[in-house]
């Protein structure tokens, strides 16, 4: 019996971790919906580019409608889009709050609500039921560091850690898994190369993480059907202590 092709929606897919996840999911045999505010069209007919800001009201419905129109289903959502602004708490502005909360929380809510609703349409369809949501968080939620003031990251990403467990339990009997990958510092365009040596000291393993470390963790979760409600730390030991 042939099985329908699975479909992954990846936000923040224009660069860094998100861009690397697109070929990783294609290698797994998934069609991919690549979402970012500015994302290039792909020559691969199994990759659909959807240019949208996930923080906008209605963005989730637009993304899911595009995915269903092109591929007919959604199996996995990777909430990779995120913003980090590090500064002392009293230096944050209203604009900082709106920007960070808009992407990290509103964006999660927008896309996850619509994607989970689409996954539920296959409820009761035997082996084809359910789905998977993967969120991206930070180990700073668990291990605050005075060298990295990051209250807005803890506020928003801590919310993702909490809702991961809530949704994992809420939808476990419907076959939908929800997990989070909590990161240390990863070598992405977010960080200037001249900061790498200093950032490496934040991790007991003595290096910063690579994009491939994160991709491998997410692929592991994709292939781990008995894992849900987990906060998987990919942080060089940062959350364990020093």
Burial of 148 by CB count in 10 Å (0-12 exposed, 13-18 middle, 19+ buried)?
middle
Does residue 114 sit within a domain? yes
Number of domains forming the structure of the chain = 1
146-151 own/partner pairs: CB under 8 Å, 24+ apart: 147/202, 148/86, 148/202, 149/86, 149/87, 149/88, 149/89, 150/84, 150/86, 151/89, 151/92
Does residue 2 sit within a domain? no
Task: Pick the more confident residue, 128 or 211.
Answer: 211
> Quick check: helix, strand or coil at residue 7?
strand
Q: How far apart (Å, rounded) are the C-alpha atoms in residues 127 and 194?
A: 49
Cβ–Cβ under 8 Å, residues 161 and 231: yes
pLDDT of residue 113: 98
Does residue 1 sit within a domain? no
Does residue 167 sit within a domain? yes
The answer to whether residue 1 scores a pLDDT higher than 80 is: no
- Of 143, 140, 135, 156, the closest CA to residue 230 belongs to 135
The answer to whether residue 29 scores a pLDDT higher than 70 is: yes
User: Span 32-58, mean pLDDT?
Assistant: 96
Q: How far apart (Å, rounded) are the C-alpha atoms in residues 199 and 216?
A: 21
Does residue 162 sit within a domain? yes
Does residue 242 sit within a domain? no
Q: What is the pLDDT of residues 107-127, one digit of tens each?
A: 999 999 999 999 999 866 566
pLDDT above 70 covers a percentage of the chain that reads 97
Domain CATH code at residue 124: 3.40.50.720
pLDDT of residue 194: 86
pLDDT of residue 124: 64
| Residue 58: domain span | 7-236
User: Span 128-140, mean pLDDT?
Assistant: 94
Run of H or E residues at 161: helix 151-170
- Of 14, 223, 71, the closest CA to residue 132 belongs to 223
Q: How far apart (Å, rounded) are the C-alpha atoms in residues 57 and 66?
A: 16
The answer to whether residue 51 scores a pLDDT higher than 80 is: yes
The answer to whether residue 3 scores a pLDDT higher than 80 is: no
pLDDT of residue 242: 75
Q: What is the pLDDT of residues 68-104, one digit of tens each?
A: 999 999 999 999 999 999 999 999 999 999 999 999 9
Assigned token pair, 4: 């329908």
């Amino acid at each position: 019996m042939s099985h329908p092709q699975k479909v992954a929606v990846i936000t923040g897919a224009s660069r860094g971790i998100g861009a690397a996840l697109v070929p990783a999911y294609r290698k797994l045999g998934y069609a991919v919906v690549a979402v970012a505010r500015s994302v290039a069209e792909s020559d691969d007919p199994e990759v659909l580019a959807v240019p949208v800001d996930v923080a906008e009201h209605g963005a989730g419905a637009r993304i899911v409608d595009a995915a269903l129109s092109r591929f007919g289903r959604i199996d996995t959502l990777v909430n990779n889009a995120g913003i980090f602004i590090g500064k002392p708490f009293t230096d944050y502005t209203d604009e900082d709050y709106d920007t960070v909360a808009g992407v990290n929380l509103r964006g999660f809510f927008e896309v996850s609500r619509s994607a989970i609703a689409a996954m539920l349409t296959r409820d009761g369809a035997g082996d084809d039921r359910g789905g998977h949501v993967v969120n991206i968080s930070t180990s700073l939620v668990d291990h605050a560091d005075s060298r990295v003031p990051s209250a807005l990251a803890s506020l928003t990403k801590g919310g993702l850690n909490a809702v991961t467990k809530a949704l994992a339990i809420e939808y476990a009997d419907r076959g939908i898994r929800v997990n989070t990958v909590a990161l240390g510092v990863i070598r992405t365009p977010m960080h200037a190369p001249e900061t790498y040596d200093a950032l490496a000291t934040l991790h007991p393993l003595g290096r910063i993480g690579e994009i491939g470390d994160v991709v491998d963790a997410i692929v592991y979760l994709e292939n781990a059907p008995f894992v849900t409600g987990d906060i998987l730390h990919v942080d060089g030991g940062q959350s364990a202590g020093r």
